[in-house]
Amino acid sequence: RARNVGARRARGEFLLFMDDDVRLGSEDLIERMLRTFEQDPRIGLVGVSQQVPSDASPFARRCAKELERFEAPVLERVEDSDLASHACMMMRRSVYLAVGGEHDLLPRGTDPDLRLRLREAGYRVVLAPGAWVYHPPPASWRELWRTFFRNGAGSAFVHRHFPRYCIDTAPTHSPAQTGRRSLPVRARGFLKRLARAFVPPRPVRIVALLAYGCGAMKTLLFDKQQWSLALRRGCKYALLPFGWLWVQLRKRMGRWPKGVVRILLYHRVEDIRRFPLVIPPETFRRQMEFLKANGRCIPLERVPDLLASRPGAWEGDRFVITFDDGYRDNYTQAYPVLCRLGLPATIYLVTDFIGKEAEFPWVKKLGPPTYQILTWEQVEEMAEGGITFGAHTASHPSLATLPPERQREEMDRAAEALRERLGQRPLHFSYPFGSRADFDEVAVDRVRRAGFQTATTAVAGGNPPGSNPLMLRRTAIDPSDDFFLFRCHLKGYLDLLAWKDGVLAGRARRFLRRAIGL
């Protein structure tokens, strides 16, 4: 992500990327890299050979001898190579931006991804002749283990959440050996390399591969997010019979409303598998098509009038689509689907972060930042396309923890930012975190005084006639919901999940957020 920011702000023709632990091999290194571009207009990326520093420890030299890609001979002519890396590389700025720059959501594997995209675009990836840098290998057994354990964990993370970016790299110069390979193929290749490391025995290589494998297994087997989603789905299926029975009993007793407003809560829509808050694009498209065919989707502006009507005045549930926070994939992934199907939606923005190269502090606990934040230009385009925008405060605090004046400041600052950009003050508000422990009567009163017509919570459930428009319940849709559970949500069979959003459960979650600094 930092490289992309730097490339957008740069003004020169060429971009030079270099790791902070690299030492130049010669004073004319940059000139040699620049001259390489003159030899072929198809050259898109120029890297350099890597050498072990003369003052490297005996262990580091042993690593360079037994491990791949730590040392490459200095070339006498330009050669296509898979050893060009971010350790030291140069690109034309126009080419870098044309191919989309780095994939800034990947925590690992950006080198092979960039090389592959360049080649698919018709560019060459080469090493400059007579150019090298000193890049030190691990200097101890401990550093060796930590480096390869981290690499293995990162590779497994990419496979789990970004499977189409799992790209093998060649151990030698040849780029023909690279490409996207499945996990079973990569696992077989790993086992073959491990077996070859024992004949003849090469201790450094054996330890490095074992560390890599342990790191990968740690991510694949003990990923807390994976188990959290699995546990959440299991709990929903366990609760489902009781929820269905509760709905049927209330219908028999005549206490189930003939129609409710059910507000769906989304956060992100992105091609990331099994990651918190993220709905894959195909899943989101299927859900929206189902709503279009079987539901009555209405804009949030109509909700106050519906809730003000007498009970039984209208039959059949109405559905409202909302998104919290302001992730960029709301624009790149969700917005096109909503436009194609003609579905209205509301996005609640945390205004202090919109348009900035930053990350949401309250999302850090989920792991590496796999998201970007909306820009104001994207917000304005969606507003012109019919998307409604509401305030989600300026910085996303738990309002119940703030004094009344701070609550008012958060609401007013967010509303003013939206008014300046969109030309009118927002009419809709969403309480950050949204449990009953995260907002109080003072916050509700502040919302009323600020002139908001509706305010949504994260408390599960529908909203029958007579509901308070400033304490609207929502139905959260997350990655643990398969299509069957999604349909059960729409019928109210999982409204019993509201217990987790009560005051006691909310206070427990707030205590945990404070304990980990969120």
pLDDT tens-place string over residues 288-345: 999 999 879 999 999 999 999 988 788 889 999 999 999 999 999 999 999 999 999 9
What's the start-to-end Cα distance of the chain, in Å? Answer: 23
Phi, psi of 178 (to 5 degrees): -95, 160
Let me know if residue 234 belongs to a domain.
Answer: no
Give residue 159's domain range.
2-222
Q: Are residues 346 and 412 in the same domain?
A: yes
Residues 6+ apart with CB under 8 A from 279: 266, 268, 269, 270, 287, 477, 478, 479
Q: What CATH number is attached to the domain comprising 178? A: 3.90.550
Q: Are residues 216 and 286 in the same domain?
A: no
The residue whose two tokens read 């509700």 is: 444
Q: Are residues 198 and 278 in the same domain?
A: no
Q: Are residues 216 and 265 in the same domain?
A: no
Number of domains in the chain: 2
pLDDT tens-place string over residues 69-127: 888 888 999 999 888 888 899 999 999 999 998 887 777 778 888 998 999 999 999 99
Q: What CATH number is attached to the domain comprising 274? A: 3.20.20.370
Q: Are residues 297 and 385 in the same domain?
A: yes
pLDDT at 518 over 50: no
* Of the residues 206, 222, 238, the one at which a domain ends: 222
Let me know if residue 486 belongs to a domain.
Answer: yes
Q: Are residues 14 and 118 in the same domain?
A: yes
Q: Are residues 204 and 271 in the same domain?
A: no
For residues 32-61, average pLDDT: 92
CB 69 within 8 A of CB 88: no
Q: Are residues 36 and 105 in the same domain?
A: yes
Let me know if residue 378 belongs to a domain.
Answer: yes
Let me know if residue 242 belongs to a domain.
Answer: no
Q: How far apart are CA 58 and CA 68, in angstroms?
A: 17
**Which two tokens mark 297?**
């989707």
pTM for the model stands at: 0.82
CB 456 within 8 A of CB 263: yes
Let me know if residue 359 belongs to a domain.
Answer: yes
Provide the 8-state DSSP code for 67.
S
pLDDT tens-place string over residues 177-233: 555 667 777 788 888 889 989 988 999 999 999 999 999 999 888 877 788 889 999
**Apex 419 CA angle, 331 and 448, nearest 5:** 105
Q: Are residues 301 and 376 in the same domain?
A: yes
pLDDT at 378: 97
Q: How far apart are CA 306 and CA 469, in angstroms?
A: 10
Let me know if residue 82 belongs to a domain.
Answer: yes
pLDDT tens-place string over residues 348-365: 999 999 998 778 888 877
Q: Is 439 exposed, middle or buried (0-12, 13-18, 19+ CB in 10 A)?
A: buried
Q: Are residues 422 and 326 in the same domain?
A: yes
pLDDT tens-place string over residues 125-170: 999 999 999 988 899 999 999 999 999 998 888 888 887 777 766 6
* Nearest C-alpha neighbor of 492 from the set 244, 326, 195, 201: 244
pLDDT at 5: 84
Q: How far apart are CA 304 and CA 295, in angstroms?
A: 19
Q: How far apart are CA 490 and CA 461, in angstroms?
A: 10
Let me know if residue 232 belongs to a domain.
Answer: no
Provide the 8-state DSSP code for 24.
E
Q: Using DSSP bridges, classify how beta strands 428-430 and 88-92 pair: parallel, antiparallel or unpaired.
A: unpaired
CB 138 within 8 A of CB 60: yes
- With a pLDDT cut of 90, the percent of the chain lying above it is 63
Let me know if residue 227 belongs to a domain.
Answer: no
Q: What is the mean pLDDT of the chain?
A: 89
Q: Are residues 272 and 326 in the same domain?
A: yes
DSSP states of 360-416 as a string? -GGGGGGSS----B--HHHHHHHHHTT-EEEE--SS---GGGS-HHHHHHHHHHHHH
Q: Are residues 307 and 210 in the same domain?
A: no
For residues 461-475, average pLDDT: 96
